[in-house]
Amino acid sequence: MAGRAQDRSFRSLSGLEKTASTSRVLNLAAVASQQSSDPEYDSAPFFKAASLNGAVIIKHRVRSDERYIFEQARRISTKVIIPFERTDLSLGGRSMFVGQRGWQELLYQLRGGRDDEARDIALLEALDELPSLDPFLLREHLKRRDFKIANCYFAISAPDLERMQRFVSGEISKLVDLAYGGSGGAGGASGNISKLVSLLLSGQDDTRLEPLRLTLGLEGENFREGIFSWKGFLYYKWVLNSLWPELRVVISELGEIKLVGPRDAELLSQVKDVGARVNQAILAQVRRVRVILQVYDDAFAELTQAGNPMAFRDFLLRSPEMFITLGERTGMVSHIASFWRYRFPKGRPLKAELSELFDILQDFHQGLGEDDDTPAVRTGAQLTDPASAEPIGNAV
């Protein structure tokens, strides 16, 4: 079984060779092969060490047999894998966890020298602060930490950024009326909304945010951290809006996979079992994300509808901790949707060998976690959306 687990890990890695990064994976090996002709790739690299700049960074769920290597208990860690061969990740590589005992000495051995080591260590620590590796939040977080990194390392498209800006504009329009006096100022209310959205998404301190700071009654670092976490909530709310239809398709397609190749009755039974558990766990994670987002919605409504800025201020002070949980849970299901669509592109036959499907589902189940305390609703052989109680697909 140990051999199978290792094979499953590197099979997942090899599937990333031609893909962009996901919420759980920062694939610098793929960036190296796809963006190396971009002048900014060399002039503003992600890591200074060439070995690290071709690494695969993964938000990894710490397993029970890995906990001993950390000084303090943690659920999610940042794993750095330096492949033996960037063009063939199935060959494996050397790896370490940020924050494990003696990790900086391990890093020295992996990166091959001390030049610019302090900067790369600080960058890894910044990555470890985030709950996931969503390109948008990653870019904004590193800007706040004053890292100068080329945009080619962040796989967020201009259309996605534009769609998010429109979404955020709709979300905060009432707050602009409250903080900026409605139509006051050049450009009227729509101009104020557009300016505030640009300022919020820029990740930079700006005196033009002063009316917002005064409205919320926050100072200094509390204001900066609160604004960043608020931006994270808005981002994840936008992500879930677009992600949920994709997850419904994944759950549906789980019941439509056609098996090819040899069959094994025992393995088939395990696939059906883990498929049902993955289905339930996806729905449970989405429900948890919605519960956290509802805390934000309620606090924001207190501010914009009831005129109670203290409720939203208190939310912002507590938001960094909730933001971590929100990012972890959203990242879990986002990775499943992106990997599933990569493996089973639209318009292609839904076919897989039994052993491969088992490996995929096992990876999903491990990534979703096994400590679920909010079960999905079950009706017979069908799984239902906890929010709507409507059947959305059969188990494998």
What are the extents of the domains in the chain? 2-155, 159-216, 244-394
In angstroms, rounded to a whole number, what is the distance separating the alpha carbons of residues 89 and 76? 23
Q: For residue 393, give both structure tokens.
A: 């697909």
In angstroms, rounded to a whole number, what is the distance separating the alpha carbons of residues 179 and 49? 45
Q: For residue 88, give both structure tokens.
A: 């063939």
Q: Please give the single-letter amino acid code of residue 214.
A: L
Q: Are 81 and 58 in contact (CB under 8 A)?
A: yes
Q: For residue 77, give both structure tokens.
A: 């860690």
215-219 contacts at long range (C-beta below 8 A, 24 or more positions apart):
215/175, 215/178, 215/179, 215/309, 216/309, 216/312, 216/313, 216/316, 217/309, 217/310, 217/313, 218/313, 218/316, 218/317
Q: Are 156 and 139 in contact (CB under 8 A)?
A: yes
In angstroms, rounded to a whole number, what is the distance separating the alpha carbons of residues 113 and 330? 36
pTM of the model: 0.69
pLDDT value for 287: 92
pLDDT value for 331: 83
pLDDT value for 21: 59
Other CB atoms within 10 A of residue 202 CB: 12
Q: For residue 163, give both structure tokens.
A: 């769609």
pLDDT value for 190: 56
pLDDT value for 390: 31
pLDDT value for 290: 92
Residue-level pLDDT, tens digit, the chain, 396 residues? 333 334 444 445 555 544 555 778 888 988 888 777 788 888 899 999 988 998 999 888 888 889 899 988 888 899 999 887 666 666 677 889 999 999 999 998 888 777 889 999 999 999 998 888 888 778 878 888 889 999 888 877 777 777 887 887 777 777 777 766 654 443 444 566 676 777 766 656 667 778 778 888 888 888 888 777 788 888 888 888 888 899 999 989 988 889 998 888 999 999 999 999 999 999 999 999 999 999 999 998 898 888 888 888 888 888 877 877 888 888 888 888 888 988 899 889 999 999 999 988 988 888 786 443 333 322 222 333 333 323 223 333
The SS3 call for residue 33 is helix
H/E stretch holding 32: helix 28-35
Q: Are 81 and 56 in contact (CB under 8 A)?
A: yes
DSSP annotation string for 209-245: GHHHHHHHT--HHHHHHHHHHHHHHHHHHHHHHHHHH
Q: Are 278 and 257 in contact (CB under 8 A)?
A: no
H/E stretch holding 393: strand 391-394
Residue 49, sorted as left (phi over 0), alpha (psi -120 to 50) or beta, turns out to be beta
The dihedral over CA atoms of 240, 245, 247, 248, expressed in degrees to the nearest 10, equals 140
Q: Which residues contact 159 (CB under 8 A, 6 or more apart)?
A: none
Pairing of the two strands 351-353 and 258-260: parallel
pLDDT value for 40: 83
